[in-house]
A and B are shown apart, each in its own frame.
Chain A
Amino acid sequence: MSLLLGFAYGLAAVGLIAGGAVIGVWWERKVAGRIQLRLGPQQLGPAGVFQMLADVPKLLFKEDIVPYGADRPTFRYAPMLVFAPIAASVAVVPFWAGWAPLDSVVGVAFFLAVPSVAVLGMLLSAWASHNTLSTIGGMRAAAQMVSYEVPRTLAVLSVVVLAGSLQPTEITGAWRWWWVPLTAVGFLVYLIASVAEMNRGPFDLPEAESELVAGYFADYSGFRWAIFMMAEYGSMIAAALFGTALFLGGPAWFAGVGGLIAYVGVACVIITAIMWAKWTFPRMRQDHLMTFCWTVLTPLALVQLLVAGAVAVWL
């Protein structure tokens, strides 16, 4: 029974991310278009919404190219290793007040730890491509993702300390409005570190189009490429949902369906803000990125943790 349920949740998570990615691509093209004095998709259906339906078959029908000299089995299966952990991390998101698909007592740790496995997939795909640009991209991805996990985890810990629990449903249950001003810095650190985790601009160095063409997935085509893209959007969706739940209370605002709608709505606003940042800022350089992580974000997250800890003790 639990196996069947797990299977159903897995399918649902893949469906959520795939659907979210398709809508996300369309929405991003609209957002980017407006920022860049363009219109974005507009020919297919109202506001070009059917463009997303056209994009999927396009990717499906493209040739699946494995470059000469590539490590074939690794090359073919590495994208799954990038996608699967990110899809799994959605399982602990508390969609409903008091309910998450996987209501684990260590849900927060699960959410922070499991997507990290994706680094292995990125390194493997980079290495298996047998391409110097991919290799550099993979190395950058590994360095960046491992580093940014530190401030991200520290930022989330401040909420964990306040709630006194690692269980996402308990945290949303214990959430109070005054957490928002108290953990504002932590939320900001969490957002920035999450953008770096999902390799999006201005932190998209591992793919750095102008330098590395597309970094670790430069040699991928068709649906395998789409899996990387879905992983990126999935990571963005998961980070926005989880951040909204933990720092802003998420489903705790209203009971029932209203709570879910408000929760997803706020997450969408955060996703839009992340897109906005990508189309506004230039890309950072590797050493600046590391300096920023270790000298700005990590100390900020530590201070936030100290403040949250002091308040928790005083309570």
Chain B
Amino acid sequence: MSERLVVNIGPSHPSTHGVCRIVVELDGEIVTHAEPIIGHLHRGIEKMAENRTYLQIVPLTDRLDYVGSMYANWAYCRAVERLAGIRVPERAEYIRVIVCELQRIASHMMGIGSAAADTGAFTVFMYAFEQRELVVDLFEALCGSRLTYNYVRPGGVSADLPDGWVDRCRTFIKGHPDAMREIDRMLFGNVIFRARTKGIGVLDAADAVAWGASGPVARGSGVDYDLRRDDPYSMYPRFDFTVPLGERGDSYDRARVRLWECVESCRIVEQALDQLAEYEPGVIMTEGLPRLLAPGRGDAYDHIESARGCLGVYLVSDGGVCPYRMKVRSPAFSNLALLPLLATGHTLSDLIVVLGSLDPVFGEVDR
């Protein structure tokens, strides 16, 4: 046995997708062990929630998955609504679906772009970010923020769609699938990228289920599970969409599933915009909600399909104006746990590719 070299990647490193430290044990260039050390971005959001009112917690959830703030907003609001028995107006539900599908596109553009940048294809990163910018511009017009939206609120959404927004959104979803096909040719058709990602970090379906993987990571391995279809919530039963699946469960499939999910998201947004036209503008908040929500004693859990997988929020109330306990079930955390399993036996370069294909966001991992 040759001598092992221990390399410390991070916490400040170009491709840890946030602040993560990975202690890697190398035999030459081969990874014999990789240990992600998390907690550098721990802010105690779940604990802070215990001292804030239900409405004050929404901006905290923005800071969980800061690449996809809308999801955490929505998952939290659904848990509150279940806890307090609030019925949300249908128009607000449609708007939530639209912004969250757009958020999926924005988040996946970050995921694909950084997976490309991890292999050195920085140009693809810029192309993906152009698409992300278009979505973020839409969000800015909607709620004034580009990263932490604080848009979905218990009982509805904070603002109705501004004038002309629907047309801008339609223009975007019309052009987006073509941009995805371009990235497909540019990145997924590239011989070097294929050699770098195919057969790297193979996750079989049984392992994906056993380790609690969800979202594109599980679907890349062929696990046909998507909460939007399999545990339908909000308006999703009214839409026609397919769930893209990978076959081999390698880094290539995980990244490519994200690409086709974006195209499917465009389809959902288009249908949602069509159906939204039948609803009266302005009805975006439940009538008669008290300023200070105080749900009765009890607990509630609800989950949604975020860009990273099954994002759940569990709330316990003791009858007060602040929750007694909040717990977030983070898909990024479960997916990141796969890193040692997937990267061992590959080279150091592959470790970075595998990490990129898991697409972790450390705000959500560390919370």
Contact = CB atoms under 8 A, between A and B. Distances in A.
A286 B130 CA distance: 31
For A38, A136, A205, A211, the residue with the greatest tally of chain B CB atoms inside 10 Å of its CB is A211
A268 B140 CA distance: 43
B121 A281 contact: yes
B15 A211 contact: yes
Contact of B120 (A132, A135, A283, A288): A283
A283 B116 CA distance: 10
Contacts of A132: 5-8
A240 interface: no
B127 A133 contact: no
Nearest to B5: A132
B349 A35 contact: no
Given A136-B29, A202-B192, A285 B347 contact: yes
Given A209-B14, A213-B13, A37 B121 contact: no
Nearest to B7: A132
Given A36-B126, A285-B196, A287-B347, A210 B119 contact: yes
Interface residues of A, number: 28
Interface string B78-93: 0000000000000000
Contact of B127 (A32, A37, A135, A282): A37
Interface in B89-145: 116-123, 126-127, 130
Contacts of B130: 37
B15 A210 contact: yes
Interface in B302-356: 347-352
A41 B111 CA distance: 28
A280 interface: yes
Contacts of B117: 210
A281 B190 contact: yes
A175 B78 CA distance: 77
Interface string B190-217: 1011011000000000000000000000
Given A282-B190, A282-B196, A283-B192, A201 B349 contact: no
A38 to B, nearest CB: 7
13 contacts: A37-B127, A132-B6, A202-B192, A209-B15, A210-B118, A211-B351, A213-B13, A282-B119, A282-B120, A282-B190, A283-B119, A285-B196, A288-B196
A284 B15 contact: no
Interface string A198-242: 000110110011110100000000000000000000000000000
B348 A136 contact: yes
Contacts of A36: 122-123, 126-127
Interface string B34-47: 00000000000000
Given A32-B123, A37-B126, A209-B15, 20 more contacts: A36-B122, A36-B123, A36-B127, A37-B130, A133-B7, A136-B5, A136-B7, A136-B26, A208-B120, A209-B120, A210-B14, A210-B118, A210-B119, A211-B349, A211-B352, A281-B121, A282-B116, A282-B120, A284-B192, A285-B350
A253 interface: no
Contacts of A211: 15, 348-349, 351-352
Given A37-B127, A282-B121, A288 B195 contact: yes
Interface residues of B, number: 32
A132 B26 CA distance: 11
Contacts of B116: 282
A202 B120 contact: yes
Contacts of B192: 202, 281-284, 288
Contacts of B195: 284-285, 288
A32 B125 CA distance: 13
For B26, B196, B351, the residue with the greatest tally of chain A CB atoms inside 10 Å of its CB is B196
Contacts of A284: 192, 195-196
Contacts of A288: 192, 195-196
Contacts, number: 83
A279 interface: yes
B241 to A, nearest CB: 30
B5 A38 contact: no
A225 B246 CA distance: 44
Contacts of A32: 123
B135 to A, nearest CB: 16
A43 B245 CA distance: 47
A308 B98 CA distance: 65
A32 B126 CA distance: 11
Interface in A235-289: 279-288
Nearest to A283: B120
Contacts of B126: 36-38
Nearest to A132: B7
Contacts of B347: 285-287
B349 to A, nearest CB: 5
A210 B352 contact: yes
Contacts of A282: 116, 119-121, 187, 190, 192-193, 196
Interface in A68-121: none
Interface string A281-311: 1111111100000000000000000000000
Interface string A28-70: 0000100111100000000000000000000000000000000
| The 10 A-B residue pairs with the shortest CB-CB distance in the complex, in nearest-first order | A283-B120, A282-B121, A36-B126, A282-B119, A210-B15, A132-B7, A210-B118, A282-B120, A282-B192, A282-B193
Nearest to A212: B348
Given A37-B130, A201-B120, A280-B123, A208 B349 contact: yes
A226 to B, nearest CB: 20
Contacts of B6: 132
Nearest to B130: A37
Contacts of B121: 281-283
A85 to B, nearest CB: 27
A282 B190 CA distance: 8
Contacts of B196: 282-285, 288
Contacts of A37: 126-127, 130
A209 B117 CA distance: 9
